[in-house]
Structure 1
């Protein structure tokens, strides 16, 4: 556990300043093999555009971006809570893009981000959370330890950054 890491939601009025550091985290994770919607070689332009789109979504109050920062303010990780859902699912949110820099892993940061996303969801009035992850990856253990329930897997659902096929496992969590 890294007690010097601060986990917090990025405010809409400051989210634009986080685009570049979040792009750094995304690039690091994709280059490390994370299947998070992007392929190698991910360009800086692609990563910045993704986070610029996310920033606009934050400003529209459609999602929350949580960050883990070290004592110097360096972004070590992030996760998103997508709160804008269809009219018949006002109680649900999606958890997306759980990313921790490779040099910051195995310090409890992802677990703390998952705790913070639960708190953020409760604050937003959400009681059902869903997410998906690469089948057989380290994240499956993280989500299980954080109280998530496995729904099932779909073989060949996505591609790894190098183009190889991978399955995707779906999880849900009922907040009480």
Structure 2
């Protein structure tokens, strides 16, 4: 398994594969902003829309690619466009295909995004995730700090209101690489 940083053209060209990953994640119940069932065409269109942000540098995208060439996971960092927030980024859409889970791929993608952020001068990351989800347990075990919980924040893929937990992590480049 290798993790690659993808530019806007790669995100656009491989939107179909990224859509398969997104649809798999949603159908497995992960709250990543979509309701089930999520069709391939809708997922691919959403991914293609993200290509412009990746090309402009507002979104950094990494894909975990198996030896077969199949996309097994992804993670992104969304960079704010305001001058007073250039020191931070939002971790978004950390997803691992069901067939690749249980092999620490989520942890690898998370570490990749954290290290890349620190290397570019980002000192603070933040995210939101469904409360009590497997993702929340990953973030907590990776040293992220829960800032709070918002009740009834978003619908689960099944359409039920669920709380979300807000997390942050201060980055220290020396600590991450040393």
CA RMSD, aligned part only? Answer: 1.1
Q: 109, 116, 127: which one pairs with 2:112?
A: 116
Deviation at 1:150, TM superposition (A): 0.7
- The runs of 5 or more residues in structure 1 that have no matched partner are none
Please say if 1:99 is aligned against 2:95. yes
Q: Which residue of 2 aligns with 1:72?
A: 68
Q: Which residue of 2 aligns with 1:167?
A: 163
Please say if 1:18 is aligned against 2:8. no
Q: 134, 138, 144: which one pairs with 1:142?
A: 138
Q: Structure 2 CA distance, aligned partners of 1:91 and 1:15? A: 25
Structure 1 stretch 128-137 or stretch 9-18: which is displaced more? Answer: 9-18
Task: List per-residue Cα deviations over 1:91-121 (Å, max 9, x = no partner).
Answer: 0100001111111111100000000001221
The structure with the greater share of residues assigned to helix is 2
Aligned residues: 172
Q: Contact between 1:85 and 1:92, CA under 8 Å: does it hold in 2?
A: no
Deviation at 1:167, TM superposition (A): 0.4
TM-score (norm 1): 0.94
TM-score (norm 2): 0.93
Please say if 1:34 is aligned against 2:30. yes
Q: Structure 1 CA distance, aligned partners of 2:69 and 2:141? A: 28
Q: Structure 2 CA distance, aligned partners of 1:8 and 1:144? A: 25
